Chains A and B, each alone.
Chain A
Amino acid sequence: MNRYRRRTLALELAMIAIALVVGFPVYVLVNLAVRPASDTSSPITPTSSPTLDNFTQAWQQGALGGALGNSVLVTVCSVVIVLAVSSAAAYPLARVAARWSRGTYLMFLLGLVLPFQLASLPLYQTMRDMGLLGTPWALVLFYSGLQVPFTVFLYVGFLRALPRDFEDAALIDGCTSLQSFRYVVLPMLKPVTVTALVLNAVAVWNDFFTPLLYLSGSAQQTMPVAIAGFVGQYVTDWNLIFAALVTSILPVLIVYFVLQRSIINGFAGGLRG
């Protein structure tokens, strides 16, 4: 039953064919990004004169370096905060059956269904009053709150499926709740933490409309905003635009491919809950 049979080969070929279909748009993206504007052949024909000029030009004219720095800053800071506060919150919410605990959990779940449009204007005005507009900190604060419901949802689900024995033992050994969280619960949460890390990082990195509004009027930009501005300014130059698009997704893809084993295993493990 474990052997590699003819049927397995057929399946393998079918799966590879599917992967090629999935990869096709990315091929076109790269193919257009590395060809000079003078090459106007069909987008699916490989270019005869590949060049990296588009990338250097996009990098310089789009000021993508600064945007990259901001995106890294915002993503890293927000994700660290979200993971810290959400894992801590999940601990009592998963373990205590009291009414306040269930009520709080339900309230967090409410956050999953609220559309961002409802809160956007009042929140903008609060950020203004705090003097955070135009700085990346407005975004860090925003995502730190926005991503809490989903992250708590992941952590609570996972934690509920975990046995409590270790925590109980730790308590008997004289640990405080804080110590038991730090030394017993947190290590057990590692798989779901990887999952939450990936999902939050992707969501924060990719968000477009919030940074557009919160950073407008300042020199600060994040990658998606810089890209949109770039597309607006070089409307006709698709090769240049595609080079910018590739540049914007490259950091994420590199991190993803380098860490893919931990990410996918962790991701899988974290959702088993």
Chain B
Amino acid sequence: MKTRTPVTLAAAVTAAAVLAACSGGTKASSGGDSKTLTLASVDQGSVEDVVKAFEKANPGVKVRFTTSGADQYQQQIRTQLSSGTAPDVMSVWPGNGNPGATYVLAKPGYLRDLSDQPWAAKLPDAVKSVAQYEGKTYNAVFGLNGIGAVYNEQAMAKAGLTPPDTWTKLLDFCRAAKAKGTPAFALGNQDNWVTQLVLYALVATTVYGDDRDFDKKMQGGQVTFAKSPWTTALDKYLTMEKTGCFQKNPLGTNYEASQGLAATGKTLGIVQGNWVIALLKGKNPKGTFSFKALPATDDPSGTLIPAAAGAGYGVNAKAKNEDLALKFVNFVMSPKGMNLFVKKQGGLPSLPDTGYAVDPSLEELSTFIQEDRTVPFMDQLWPNAKVQQTMLSGLQEIFSGQSTPKRLLGEMDADYQAGP
């Protein structure tokens, strides 16, 4: 009854597999040569096209690239940099306050100075402030992103509602939407980075509307989170939650699920970065979506949008193939590379003269940028990564009743004051 066949079979299969696999594996390793560029990127889904175009423009050149999510990328890149095995070109976030950000990586000397590259001087001032460290440019920032309300136009038409432009109208809009059974906005707070977006959109107007120099005052220690309009913004966030602006269970809904809600019209929109539009279209190719500022006061002309440089690319100070690395970065910053990237990501180019035809859905964002009615993402100028992490988990705790706004802002102040 007990047959030996499976064991014998397994042994034979195993032996064959070892032989095939082990002999095949030796071909795997290939060292870097002058025609090979190594690249690590967080731009999943868009960098692939750019690499393809770059290889096409430079016959014989091969780009070996890896893409990963932000968490895994930060682990990978820090281990590699400190061990001297980092790729030639890598994604670098603008400013500070993130373990893969420009200041953090440029300070110990891991990034090559890119100030001598043709595009460096042309970057708009707002971008320069976060692409530079001590006056030198280290980050090839190719795209700008904004945070606001993205509406599903078909769902809006069906509900007979229009985008609100004041805080009072926003709350009315939420109530009306809820009454129709389709809540106003999808909120995917299970992924903790999503929790900050609504808050940032509200902080832009409430904090910076009256005080564009707020960051300087924070750095000088004249103001704190707890004693500033940040409290107002946080209250408004919670008022939106209480008014029913968001779908049920935001903490059990992740980023992907929230996209599903907004794409299919189960909510009328979503408060997100403009990059979500491309993803919504992926889920619902027939849908049309538009980006609008999220109002936070009753004066529409005072509304600001958080808009800032997205993740760009830096060159390894010890790049094995520096020429090719610079060539790649310059390709990303050329009109062709830049447009390819921002089109796929649904953002706006960081340089003004690329001839990029702005997608109609982003018109409002583009207008706000031209009128200088934007402020950088708040964390980009914070002194360390801890402030943001405290905010992200603290917001989840507030939504689940484990913490209070007062406690959160106090903790953020403590982390901020701990310095770099």
Contacts and interface: CB of A to CB of B under 8 A. Distances in A.
Contacts of A189: none
Interface in B26-69: 28-29, 38, 40, 44-45, 64, 66-69
Given A128-B85, A216-B76, 11 more contacts: A40-B264, A73-B25, A77-B22, A121-B83, A128-B83, A137-B25, A216-B68, A217-B66, A220-B28, A258-B9, A261-B6
Given A135-B29, A216-B40, A76 B68 contact: no
B80 A216 contact: yes
A124 B85 CA distance: 10
B123 to A, nearest CB: 29
A228 B2 CA distance: 40
A262 B7 contact: yes
B302 interface: no
21 contacts: A69-B21, A69-B24, A76-B18, A77-B21, A77-B22, A128-B84, A212-B72, A217-B80, A217-B87, A218-B64, A229-B44, A232-B67, A233-B67, A235-B255, A235-B256, A235-B259, A236-B263, A236-B282, A255-B10, A259-B7, A262-B7
B318 interface: no
A236 B28 CA distance: 32
B254 to A, nearest CB: 9
Interface of B: 2, 6-7, 9-10, 14, 17-18, 21-22, 24-25, 28-29, 38, 40, 44-45, 64, 66-69, 72, 75-76, 79-80, 82-85, 87, 255-256, 259-260, 263-264, 279, 282-283
B83 A216 contact: no
B21 A121 contact: no
Contacts of B9: 258
A125 B87 contact: no
Contacts of A80: 18
A236 B21 contact: no
Contact of A124 (B22, B40, B69, B79): B79
A137 B82 CA distance: 22
Given A136-B28, A217-B64, A232 B6 contact: no
Given A135-B29, A213-B75, A73 B24 contact: yes
A73 B22 contact: yes
Contacts, number: 99
- Among B82, B83, B87, find the residue whose CB has the most chain A CB atoms closer than 10 A: B83
A258 B6 contact: yes
A110 to B, nearest CB: 25
B22 A217 contact: no
Contacts of B264: 40
Contacts of B66: 216-218
B279 A236 contact: yes
A220 to B, nearest CB: 6
B5 to A, nearest CB: 10
A262 B80 contact: no
B16 to A, nearest CB: 10
A232 B263 CA distance: 19
Given A136-B28, A216-B80, A218-B64, A232 B69 contact: yes
A238 interface: yes
A119 B271 CA distance: 42
